[in-house]
Every structure is written in structure tokens, then in C-alpha cells.
Amino acid sequence: MIRIKKSANTPPILTIQGVSETNRLIDFYNLNPTSYSSRLGVLSKNITKIHFDNTIYGDATVKALLKMDQHNKCCFCESKFTETSYGDVEHFRPKKAYKKNGAKSLTYPGYYWLAYNWNNLLFSCEICNRKHKRNEFPLDNELTRKPFHSHPNLLSNEDSLLINPIEDNPSDYITFKEEIPIPKNGSRKGATSIKVFGLERLNESRLENLKAIKLALTLTNIDETSIEEVNSAAISFKIKPLDLIESIRDAKSLYNSAAKDTAKFSLCVRCNFPHLPIN
């Protein structure tokens, strides 16, 4: 994960239809707040569910801007998946219902008033969104949650155990031991985020990426202008000198891009190769 710099210009569909729909949801909720809320002895099937219009937050203009802001990477795992997948618009604070820390069942309602809020929307791969993050939203101070969780709640009172890449710098909470994500300085927030986002599932992919960068760094040390050095290295790598020169140039390109925001797994790369340029 890396810090995400959201575009200042919110997609118009969120500021127009999204605001209108948010006001409608709030008005409905205010008519009978308890009917939407989890309460002792009330089964979830008897709770009035809030319905959302996914054509608003899932609009092509919203997704396109999210993808651009995130360099076509998943907000959580930093994989580049858009060539083989559409991706999901992820609500950092779950809109319909959420799971408390260690809970097995959902608590209703979720953060319904943030369903169309630009600062609650991220772009995620399906695996992170549908299999791992899902409705998880644990707090360190669970006891401060209101009995009837609703729009008047002050989000500033929440102490989330999940890294919000819009507001937090993930490098403050997570570091990498080679390809393996670990909590930085024993951070509970880092540990919870690694678990909830399922970040360890990509250890093998990150390892392969690190190996490619290590090889690239070896190649960049070869002086492509020296015929003698190129010929000697070509023998060592068992390839043709011209092919080696091309590989050296590719390696230099990788060297200059592997740790930048646009690269996959950039936090992992930065932790392993702190000397690589990030701008």
C-alpha cells in the first residue's frame, strides 16, 4: 500500500445525483432510525435494509478517475490487474453494514451516508474487495461506537484499525522483510491491515518482482559503451552482446521506475531498495 492522492475535482455524478441520493437516505433513516439498526434480540432479516444505487458510485467517470489517481493499481495490494479484470469501487467505510473487531456477524447500518462520498471511495481488485476487506471495519475503541450508528457520528472520534490510504501513510504502519509484509514497530494497525486486506497472499508475486529488480541492478552496473565489458558480460549471461545491450537499457528503465507510485508493489520495493528514485 502507498498513500493515495485523490483528485480535488469530484466527479459530477457524485456531487449531483450522489448528494441527492444521500439526502434521500438520511431522510428515510430519520423517519425510523431503530428499524435500520442492529439491536439485541432482533434478527438481521427483520432489520430494514438500506438500498443503494450502484450506478452512481460505480459510474464510469468515477471509476476512471479512481483508476487514474491510483495508477491503475489496487488501493490495498498494489497489484496491477486492470488488463484482466474490471475492478471494484471499494467503500473504505462499508456502506450497508460492517463487522466489528473480532465479530462474526454484521452490524447494521453501515456508513450509508458515505456511499456516494468521494473521500470514501477507492479502486480495488476483486480479491481484496470481495474476499478479504468485504465489510470489515474494526476500531481500536469499539466502545465509542454509537448504539445507533448513523450520519450524526463524528468520524474523527473513530480510531480505525485499518489503514486508510487516502488519509494515512501506509509506510508508517507496514514495512517489508523482503517480500513479506510485517507491522512496522509492532503496529497493531499495520498487523490488522495486513490480515484484513490479505496482503500475504501476494508474497510470491512480490518475490518475483524483487528478483527482477535485483537482476536489473546487476545489469545497470555494466557499461554498455564498453565493447570489452559487454562482450565479457554477454559470455557470462550466455546471450548475444546486442541482446545484452537491450537488456541493460530495459534494466535502466526498470531501475528508474520500480519504486515510483506508478509501479506495482512500490512500498515493498522501497523497503528493499531504499536508494531507488521515487519521483
Tell me how far apart the alpha carbons of residues 38 and 36 are, in angstroms, rounded to a whole number: 7
Shared domain check, 216 and 140:
no
- Structural domain includes residue 181: no
The model's pLDDT over 166-210, given as tens digits with 9 standing for 90+, comes to 999 999 999 999 999 999 999 999 999 999 999 999 999 999 999
Q: Do 66 and 160 reside in the same domain of the chain?
A: yes
Supply the mean pLDDT for the chain: 91
125 and 20 in one domain? Answer: yes
| 69 & 161 share domain | yes
Q: What is the DSSP string of 200-232?
A: GGGHHHHHHHHHHHHHHHHHHTS-TT-HHHHHH
Q: Please state the domain count of the chain.
A: 2
Which segment of 19-23, 47-51, 161-165, 266-270 scores lowest on mean pLDDT? Answer: 47-51
Task: Name the pLDDT band for 43 (thresholds 50, 70, 90).
Answer: low
Rounded to an integer, the average pLDDT of 20-49 is 85
145 and 227 co-located in one domain: no
pLDDT band with cut points at 50, 70 and 90 for residue 146: low
Q: Is 114 helix (H, G, I), strand (E, B) or coil?
A: helix
Residue 120 lies in a domain: yes
Q: Domain limits at 106?
A: 12-166
Residue 234 lies in a domain: yes
Q: Which residue has the cell 517489508?
A: 176
**Mean pLDDT (whole number) for 107-136:** 94
Whole-angstrom distance, CA of residue 183 vs CA of residue 193: 9
- 174 vs 189: CA distance, rounded Å: 9
- The sign of the dihedral angle between the CA atoms of 166, 168, 171, 176 is negative
Is residue 102 domain-resident?
Answer: yes
Please check whether residues 249 and 120 belong to one and the same domain.
no
- With CA atoms as reference, report the closest residue to 38 among 121, 98, 112, 101: 98
* Residue at a domain's end among 120, 145, 166: 166
- How far from 190 is each of 120, 154, 179, 181, 203, CA to CA, in Å? 20, 23, 16, 9, 16
User: Is 135 in the same domain as 17?
Assistant: yes
In a domain? residue 61: yes
Residue 128's pLDDT is 94
Which residue, 118, 139, 166, sits at the end of a domain?
166
Task: Based on the fold, state whether residues 157 and 19 are members of the same structural domain.
Answer: yes
The answer to whether residue 264 scores a pLDDT higher than 90 is yes
Q: In a 10 Å sphere around its CB, with 0-12 CB exposed, 13-18 middle and 19+ buried, how is residue 237 labelled?
A: middle
Q: Is 124 contained in some domain?
A: yes
